[in-house]
Every structure is written in C-alpha cells, then in structure tokens.
Structure 1
Amino acid sequence: MFRLISKQKILAPRLSRSYIAGQFTGQKKANGNYTVTLIEGDGIGVEISQSVKDIFAAAKAPIDFEPVDVTPLLIDGKTTLPQEAVDSVNRNLVALKGPLATPVGKGHTSMNLTLRRTFNLFANVRPCKSVVGYDTPYKNVDTVLIRENTEGEYSGIEHTIVPGVVQSIKLITQPASERVIRYAFEYAKSINKPHVRVVHKASIMKLSDGLFVSTAREVAKEYPDVKLDFELLDNTCLRLTADPDDYKNVVMVMPNLYGDILSDLSSGLIGGLGLTPSGNMGNKVSIFEAVHGSAPDIAGKGLANPTALLLSSCMMLRHMSLNTEADKIEKAVLDTIASGPENRTKDLYGSSSTQHFTEQIISRL
C-alpha cells in the first residue's frame, strides 16, 4: 500500500533561519590589517588588480592581499581549483577576483561557476548606480538586484533524449530559494530599502517558479516591516528600460537565469559592465569580482579600465565594516570619472591609460 503525502508537506516544510549569509568574521593580524585573497584573473586582470593594490596602498586601507593561482585542474573529468587557493579563501573568508577566462575545448567547466560551487556562493549582489559626470541615455539609475547563484537552468542537468532532441532541466529547490530570498530581505533592511520584489515567470513555469514565489511569501511573514511584491520577468524588462526610477527603492530578487540577464541589462543603463561592481555571498565566504571579460585583445597595453574591480573592492570593504576606507576610495574613483574624458579610459570614451587613471584616483584620495 502506498502512503499519500500532501503536496504542501513536500513543498513547504518549516522554514529555517540558518540560511542567512553570515557577516564577515575575519580577524585582524598583529599588524592591524586583514588578509584578503586576491585572484588577479586572466587577460587584463593583472593590470586592474595592480591598480587596486596601488590605490589601496595610497589610501592606507588595512588590507594585505594574498595572491593565489586558480589555474583549473581537471580531476576525474571534473574542473577543480588548486587546494592552495581553496585553503586561502576559506582561511581569509573574503576574496577579490578579476576576470577569469575558461579554457576552451579542454573539458573545463566555467571557472566562475566552479568558484560559486566550491564556496557555495548562493547570492550574487549587483548594484547599478549612475555615475555623475558620465552621461548615458538614462539618468539617476539606482537599482539593486540579487540573483540566486547555484541552480535554475544553470544546474547543468542536460541530456540527449534522441538525436536532435535535447532536454535541459531547470532545478529549483526550496532551501536554495529560501536562503537567497531571506538574504534579500536582510539586505533590503541593511541598505534602508525595505521593499523586496520577486521577479519570476510563474505564469508559465507554475511549479518551479511557483515554488520560488511561494517560498518568498513564507519568508515574508518573518519580515512584516519589509514590503513584498511580485513581477513577471517580461514586465520587469519593459518597465526597467522605460523608467528605471521606478526601481530606486526596491531590492529585486530572482532565480539564476533571470538574474544573469537582468543584471547585465541594468549594467547597460549606467554605461556597461566596466562600471558595475558585484559580490557573491555565501554563509561564510564572500568573493567580490569584476564581472566583465578578460579582454585578451588589450591585455598588457595599458588600456584596461579598473573601475568595476575598484567598486567591487569598495563593496568588499563595506562587507568588512571598513566603511570609511570604502567611501574614500569610491569617491575618488567617481570624481576621477566625472572629471572629464582626459582622465577616463577608452571604453568610457576617454583617452587615459590605466596608469594615468590610477594616478588621478590617488591624487583625489
């Protein structure tokens, strides 16, 4: 005889608060500094990482960088990080990462995906804010997007049913949905934007996105001081490009694929990925990164724009409660961009070299 179990019991067990991302718990060394793992990255990564190091030194930020090599290893057909790099991140609890290129045609999984899985970085936080003095068709953009980082269409569950027919499975689980949604509520409170908007497509994917939506409703019961509403993905795309001002006081949270698309769309509103910071949050470990490519075509030519990595490093400093240093560096970066094209790199319609841009930031600290 089969025992019938209600769908409610399967989909909605009692929610736990254990999924809230922990605050930074690293300790200062004897010299008063924190150690941060530095993954310089590929292509222009070395140049923009050097810019960050120079500016941090000039700003007297209490950070000692520990560079690590993350050249991937293929062990039993699985992309794996070198153990020394894993140990460094786990020891320091925070890392700053430049752009990484995944080897093509060698069987390697995406390096960014490997990092997220290795350290269980379940939430990607992407703020997009207009840079005063750098004109785009959109003014006063100030959006915050939180993307579930571990599952959805990016779970990598695919197979060929018959030749010419491929099935790709979208995986949505309640625990993963809960922890990223709960993080969104906590983050909304911390930045004084007590309004969470769940972006979904439950009108079509009634079970998968429906689970994400129903989990948000359950989590919201614990946050009566935070407003919750819902919006279909296509509506969000339309409204965000029509008038991003409608999203100034909202923290958006969504499954993986939607977050990947909307975060880049939001970056486009402010001038591109070269101006956009990003943080990947886990229960214990956090990795802050520039999300643009490694641009091997300009590597070593002194043309790279370090802004995205610099702004990501400011997110990192705030995560470490080093707000004074973060504010000082961020202001110097934004003031330099606003000062004119002679101090901006080519991708920002300027004529500056990476070194000159860095020197201008240091002069404004």
Structure 2
Amino acid sequence: MYTVTLIPGDGIGPEVTKSMVKVVEATGVNIKWEEVKAGQEVIEEYNTPIPTYVIDSIKKNKVAIKGPITTPIGKGFKSVNVTLRQNLDLYVNLRPIKSFKGIKSRYENIDLVIVRENTEDLYAGIEHKIGDYGAESIKLITKPACERICEFAFKYAMDNNRKKVTGVHKANIMKLSDGLFLNTYREVASKYNIEYDDLIVDAAAMNLVLNPQNYDVMVMPNLYGDILSDLCAGLVGGLGIIPGANIGKEYAVFEAVHGSAPQIANQNIANPTAIIQSSVMMLRYLGEYDAAKKIENALEQVFLNGKNLTIDLGGRALTKEFTEEIIKYI
C-alpha cells in the first residue's frame, strides 16, 4: 500500500480531486489518501494558505497530489507552489504536452515535454522597493541548479526514448545569468549520446506556434518554463487537460496546473482531466506502470468516443458522468 498526501485545494479543486481518486481506485492500486487542507479556507486560522502540517505530511509520505489553490495577487502571501518547491527542493517542473484525438485543437501529433527549473530565476522572490520610485527583482541563476535540471532533462530523454533535447535561453541579452545556463547546458549535453540544440526564448515561442511537432524535450530556466508550458498547453486544448509534476530528490508533488475556477465550483461541470493525467504521472513515479496505462488508454477512448465530454471540451457531460465514463473503460 502507498500513502499519498491529497490536497483538494480551492474552487473546483475538491470536485476534480474526488474524480481523480475514483479513477485511480478503479485501477486496483492500493492507495491510502491522507487528506490535508490548504488554500483560502485555512488562511484565517493559520495566517497562511499552506500551514506547516501540509509540508510535514508531504515529507512523511514523499508523494502528494494537489488540486488548484488560489494565491492572492499582488499582496499577502507567497504562492503555494513556490513555497512547496522551495521548502521541498522540488527543482524540476515536468509538463508533458500531448495532443489527443477527439479534443479540438489547431494541431495534431504533438508530443513534447517541458522541463522547467523550479527553484530560482526571478521566482526566487528576491525583491525590494526603490523608495516610491520603483521596485527591483533579482534574477538568480546558479551553476548547480543549471547542472541538475539539465541532467534531469537528458536522463529523462534517454529513459523515455526521446530523440532530442532543446535548451531555451536569452543569453544574447542576459549574457551572465542566461549565459551561465547555456554554457552549463552545453557541458551536460556533451556527456550524452543524444541530439541537442538551443534556442532563444522568443524564437522558441514563435516556432512552437508554427511547428510544435519539431520539438521533443525542452529544458529551460524557471520564468521561460512557466510561460512556454502554458503556451504549449494552448496548442493541445488548454490547461484543463495538461498534467504537471514537481519533482526533487526526495519528494514529488503532482498537480492540476489550471486555476481554481471559483465561478464554476460546486456545479458538477468541471473537467477533471488535468488532475487525472497528473495521477498517471504519479502512478508511473510509484512504479505502477500498468495502472497508469489503463487510465491513459481510458482517457483516449473517452475523447475518441466524444459522447461524454465536459462543457469545456465541447460536450454536455457533468463531472460525474465524465468520470464514470473513464471508469467504464478502465
């Protein structure tokens, strides 16, 4: 039996995580879910959206899966995701981007992976005010962080029979910080027998829109990874279907990467695909490859059939009906 920390989150989070639990349990994998509260409902009591008991639970169980959590914008509290990544040293953000037949999008046959450095860059949160005149954010890039994210990308490519790795940067302008990333990327790449190249981030954005099929594994610093992973999600149907994982040496947190969508909460119309796909990643991380494949195959059949899709996917099915359809195919 596995014990997994379950963080339902805010808005539609509790609904979609409930669906995910049902789908995972339908595979027969024996998981004990240790549910912990985080987000808006705990702020008043604990003065933080992520109390220490959440971190403690993840450290004990090593694996967690979470629904979306709302972070107040521009004031108050640090992002829950940033807090988790920094406290648990979850230095990899892994975002597979894959198109499904049956889901309307402008592209077909997309199968690429964004590997995003997760702990530094502008997201280190090192900021200060310059009087009333302005504010300054410090972009922190270190060689050890560059080495380990690039090593992860190349090992991932080798382990998953990927053909090519592309490093994304802005070293033409930020010659020291992004220059350090690029030079380290090339050093790491030279140790692997796999094709590699590099691309300036603005060119990467354009090329991903023009010819996304040309890319396989892409590795990059934090900010670029945040932006390009959402761009790529838009190529295959949006954040509602894309999974995500935050991985470190000791811990892993899998998540739905979309927002909490409070405007549709408790209406039984939310699409749980993103967190269900994240559970597929979680099962593979746990070594439960057969169960992961069962869910993946079931999703493909549901999308192909097209009769029980949620509203955002062009159908009329409720969350419960969509979930039951997946379980039927499992």
Q: Deviations over 1:194-231 (max 9, x none)?
A: 422110010000000000011112222332x1222111
Indicate the structure with greater helix content.
2
> Does residue 363 of the first structure (1) align with residue 321 of the second (2)?
no
Unaligned runs of 5+ in 2: none
**CA shift in 2, pair 1:111/1:352, >3 Å:** same
Q: Which amino acid aligns with 1:286?
A: A
- The answer to whether the 8 Å contact 1:71/1:82 transfers is no
Match of 1:52 among 15, 20, 34: 20
Q: Which amino acid aligns with 1:125?
A: L
Match of 1:352 among 317, 324, 328: 317
**CA shift in 2, pair 1:104/1:172, >3 Å:** closer
Q: Deviations over 1:222-258 (max 9, x none)?
A: 32x12221111111111111111111xx210001110
How far apart, CA to CA, are the structure 2 residues paired with 1:83 and 1:239? 42
How far apart, CA to CA, are the structure 1 residues paired with 2:88 and 2:135? 30
**CA shift in 2, pair 1:104/1:198, >3 Å:** closer
Q: What is residue 222 of structure 2 aligned with on the other side?
A: 256
Match of 1:138 among 107, 113, 117: 107
Match of 1:190 among 151, 159, 164: 159
How far apart, CA to CA, are the structure 1 residues paired with 2:68 and 2:52? 20
How far apart, CA to CA, are the structure 1 residues paired with 2:233 and 2:50? 29
Q: What is residue 221 of structure 1 aligned with on the other side?
A: 190
- The answer to whether the 8 Å contact 1:45/1:98 transfers is yes
**CA shift in 2, pair 1:35/1:105, >3 Å:** same
Unaligned runs of 5+ in 1: 1-32
Match of 1:150 among 97, 115, 119: 119
Per-residue deviation, 1:84: 2.6
- The answer to whether the 8 Å contact 2:38/2:49 transfers is no
Q: Which amino acid aligns with 2:17?
A: S
Match of 2:204 among 215, 219, 236: 236
> Does residue 62 of the first structure (1) align with residue 62 of the second (2)?
no
- RMSD after superposition: 1.8
> Does residue 175 of the first structure (1) align with residue 144 of the second (2)?
yes
> Does residue 126 of the first structure (1) align with residue 92 of the second (2)?
no
1:3-18 to structure 2, matched below 5 A, reads: none
How far apart, CA to CA, are the structure 1 residues paired with 2:165 and 2:212? 16
- Percent pairwise identity: 50
SS in structure 1 of the partner of residue 115 of structure 2: strand
Per-residue deviation, 1:169: 1.3
How far apart, CA to CA, are the structure 2 residues paired with 1:159 and 1:298? 37
How far apart, CA to CA, are the structure 1 residues paired with 2:38 and 2:217? 33
> Does residue 283 of the first structure (1) align with residue 249 of the second (2)?
yes
Q: Which amino acid aligns with 1:93?
A: K
SS in structure 1 of the partner of residue 127 of structure 2: strand
Q: Deviations over 1:109-156 (max 9, x none)?
A: 111111111111111001111111112111111111100111111121
**CA shift in 2, pair 1:78/1:282, >3 Å:** farther
SS in structure 1 of the partner of residue 240 of structure 2: helix
How far apart, CA to CA, are the structure 1 residues paired with 2:168 and 2:140? 17
Size of the alignment, in residue pairs? 327
With the length of structure 1 as denominator, give the TM-score of the two structures.
Answer: 0.86
Q: Which amino acid aligns with 1:354?
A: T
How far apart, CA to CA, are the structure 1 residues paired with 2:73 and 2:189? 43
How far apart, CA to CA, are the structure 2 residues paired with 1:165 and 1:44? 37
